[in-house]
Structure 1
Amino acid sequence: MSTTFPHDPQAKALFEQIASWPIYDPHSHIDAHSPASRNLDEVLGYHYYTELAHSAGMPAAEVDPGLDPFTRARNLSRHLHRIDNTVQYSWLLEIARTFHGFEGDRIDADTIDDLYRRADHSQDGEAWDRSVWQTSQLEAVFLTNDFDDPLEGWDTSTYVPCLRTDDLVLKLHEPRTLQRLMASTNVDVEDVKSLRLAIASLFEYFVEHGARACAISLPPDFIPRKATPIASQNSVRRALKHMDLRPDEHEEIRSLVFWTLAELCAEWKLPFDLMIGPIRNVYPAGVTGGRDLFDRRVSLHDYAALFNHFSEVTFPVSTLSPDAGAELVAFSWILPNVVPNGHWWYSNVPAFIAADLKARLQAVPKTKQVGYYSDAYKLEFILPKFNMYRRLLAEYLAEDCIRGRGWTEDRALELARLVLLDNPRRIFARPNES
């Protein structure tokens, strides 16, 4: 039973129907080789809990990676009472109840030993992965794969590869990135032409191994543009020689690689997921995963030339700043290839989701919306996070569509199925099935 169950009877009926459907999750950080948590520390280690507890007074050393898992879990449990008002805590409670048979109403220092014992699946291996998958009614979960991931050892029709390209765009000047690129493609990168050949071979390999999207997370100061041929050639040459680069040379390389990625997305008919806005390491003293923030000055206007130039590429867009929702609605309103995609990170809070969900469903064509993705690192988190969105969606449909516009329940459910299942299945179909 979801801990976020609607109280309104009509919304409750809608939620029950929606919750019976499979989950199609178009973005996560799941490890296909170890998708479900083997112990409670792997659940509590999700950055939301460590960063919230640290923000509320827990020393970062209490969840140091060098500690044993049980000690980390017990240390964190002593601080959970300070964050039990948060939606993230409700996900934790739902996981404990749904997957581990926990019957209490608090997870704290008094109950942590029992819950840790219940959540111990260290000997269960793939059987536990299958159990969580089936309980959650998962249909497909998209991964986040480094460009040199061999993509072997799992069923790519269920755990779907996605080519993540942050390192290619933002770190190509680093010797290690170039070494990885050449090792994974067998292309000797010597200039701009051979660099493109290497990146093209990545697309070929990923698509052959079931990839259905290319994705990147971009800082707020990034402005996509077509690189200047001579300047980019010189910048790439200097980077290949491991020379110190000026800021404008870094910018040329970033522009060149990013534009190349967009061109290859067009060639291979892959959606290009853009996750826009994070600034890394704003809080260096924070816990792992809890050091990044966003900058409100980012604007999709900087991406207008990209969207216009690559009209044949679908861009599912996520913005990190909660107050960027109106701009994303406006771009999705008029540009056929811009798709509002889920509710990401700091915007993944019911108050922000409810406002954005309402604006999107009132203003953007229903056939070009991807309602939600989990962004989860372990399978157990997919169900409670989707249930949070499902509740908000059911409440909106009951209030605005059925009571507000006189829709039937069936018509409201058709809209829900579009944004949760039909649209992501179509937008992220295999390239030869699009």
Structure 2
Amino acid sequence: MTIDERLHPDRLFPAEERTRAVARELHELVAEKPIVSPHGHVDPRLLLDDLAYTDPATLLVSSDHYVTRLLHAAGVPLTELLGDVDPRTVWRLFCEHWHLFHGTASGFWLRETLGTVLGQRGAPTADTYDELVDVLASPRLRPRALFESFAIDVLATTDDPLDDLAVHDALRADPTFPGRVIPTFRPDAYLDPALSGWSDRVDQLGARDYDGYLAKLRERREYFIEHGAVSADFGVVQPAALELDRGAATALFERARSGRLDGGEAETFRAHMLFESARMSVDDGLVMTVHAGVRRNHHTETTARFGPDTGHDIPVDTSFTDNVRPLMERFGTAEGFHLVLFAVDESVWSRELAPLAGFYPSVYIGAPWWFLDAPDSIARFRAATTETAGFYRGSGFIDDTRAFLSVAARHAMSRRIDSAYLARLVVEGRISLAEATRVATDLVGSIPRQAFKL
């Protein structure tokens, strides 16, 4: 039975009435502001082709590893959720396990998306499948129409360094699509010699030696800049940076090319290339974003059978202070250098990231992401970082998602939580309402634009 459970108008606001009233006032100022999404993983072809979504199971379940991971944890085999499976069966399994998502971030996004985008009330049921198929066929739910209705001002994608960016070119040249969609340079697979196929990718770059390797990376970065990119993104387990002299770096590069590099040497080379990437950002102006602290593809069998990004990337302890010091010593005060540091490890927010951003003009604190882009975690993040670094040393909210339909829901969540946090500061007499109003507005506009040079 479907429960008539409308979205609460004060969701995520404080329970105490006086503070809730201020949160309402602040949220009203920003609720309809344009969305700035400077880091995410939406496929730009979605907007180029502008095809209607076909079924709710593929859209909301199979393509979202936040959803499939919890279903798998409850005993639903991934073979029943991914690949060549009946979408009706997937939807039924999802509905039967809806209770698993109560209190989770993914549950909030799903409920928000179902309610505000798809017009559904209450818990999803197997009986609503055909209704949702009809809803998804509506022209208002085509990707371009959603881009407009979500009021997305700019959307950044994540792209391979050798991508020709033809899809971005086609979108930019299309007079019927006025939206701004920009690429992001993501070179991890070309920087880590421990990854399978690294040497082949270096060949594809056209690099014959270490100097040529650096030159080709710079060349591809410039290509991305010419096509609208503003940032380069790096996913690392630890944010270690190390400067090697040319001879040592060349020797490691050659050992890697011949397949003779051991684990410690690979780690050293990765750290050196993070340092060199910072040097490149100082030179060409691309914002450098570092997502650290995740052990990717934790379960080997699942990766082999279903591929990466299937819900088993697991956080690890992370350390920034000493790891990034060589990079900060050289580039931390370099004019125009922007370094956005992201961490899944909550313990570093107040201990390391806020102090780093509170001194170095180059450092910005990346908003919570992955397992931590949840209401309570965002509130903890705000409290942990603001007292040391303030609001203006942050990146603004980062949705970091492939699930295009949930982009608006994720930003809505962030705006409600920030309104609640600011309201508490106002009621406690720590800032004025006028000051809170400015911060609330800047958090969704000038702050991400400043951090990402938009």
**Same fold judged by TM-score > 0.5?**
yes
Q: Distance in 2 between matches of 1:2 and 1:359?
A: 29
Question: Which sections of structure 2, spanning at least 5 residues, go unmatched?
Answer: 1-5, 15-19, 173-178
Aligned to 1:197: 215
Q: Following superposition of structure 1 onto structure 2, how do residues 123-272 of structure 1 map, counting pairs within 5 Å?
A: 128-154=142-168, 155=171, 158-171=180-193, 174=196, 176-183=197-204, 185=205, 187=206, 189-220=207-238, 223-241=240-258, 243-272=259-288
Q: Distance in 1 between matches of 2:388 and 2:426?
A: 13
Give the 3-state SS of the residue equivalent to 1:416 in structure 2: helix
Superposed CA deviations along residues 388-410 of structure 1, whole A, max 9, x for unmatched, are: 111111111111135423512x3
**1:17 alignment partner AA:** L
Aligned to 1:344: 369
For structure 1, which segment, 223-232 or 22-31, has the greater mean C-alpha deviation from structure 2 after superposition? 223-232
Aligned to 1:301: 322
Is 1:18–2:30 an aligned residue pair?
yes
Is 1:29–2:31 an aligned residue pair?
no
Aligned to 1:378: 403
Aligned to 2:294: 278
Q: Following superposition of structure 1 onto structure 2, how do residues 310-349 of structure 1 map, counting pairs within 5 Å?
A: 310-311=331-332, 312=334, 313-326=337-350, 327-349=352-374
CA gap of 1:72–1:380, structure 2 versus 1, over 3 A, is same
Q: How many percent identity over aligned positions?
A: 22
Aligned to 2:176: none
For structure 1, which segment, 79-88 or 41-50, has the greater mean C-alpha deviation from structure 2 after superposition? 79-88
1:229 CA displacement: 3.0
CA gap of 1:201–1:182, structure 2 versus 1, over 3 A, is farther
| Structure 2 counterpart of 1:415, from 427, 436, 439 | 439
Aligned to 1:114: 131
Q: Distance in 1 between matches of 2:246 and 2:278?
A: 17
CA-based RMSD: 2.5
Q: Distance in 1 between matches of 2:227 and 2:194?
A: 24
| Structure 1 counterpart of 2:91, from 73, 76, 88 | 73
**1:136 alignment partner AA:** F
Residue correspondences, number? 419
Q: Distance in 1 between matches of 2:293 and 2:92?
A: 34
Aligned to 1:52: 70
Q: Distance in 1 between matches of 2:428 and 2:390?
A: 21
CA gap of 1:114–1:173, structure 2 versus 1, over 3 A, is closer
Question: Which sections of structure 1, spanning at least 5 residues, go unmatched?
Answer: none
What TM-score does the superposition give when structure 2 sets the normalisation length? 0.85
Q: Distance in 2 between matches of 1:297 and 1:209?
A: 34
CA gap of 1:361–1:2, structure 2 versus 1, over 3 A, is farther
Aligned to 2:115: 97
Q: Distance in 1 between matches of 2:187 and 2:441?
A: 30
1:275 CA displacement: 0.6
Aligned to 1:88: 106
CA contact (8 A) 2:184 2:233 kept: yes
CA contact (8 A) 1:214 1:272 kept: yes
CA contact (8 A) 2:194 2:266 kept: no
**2:417 alignment partner AA:** L
For structure 1, which segment, 56-65 or 399-408, has the greater mean C-alpha deviation from structure 2 after superposition? 399-408
Q: Distance in 2 between matches of 1:133 and 1:2?
A: 22
**1:63 alignment partner AA:** L
| Structure 1 counterpart of 2:413, from 373, 380, 388 | 388
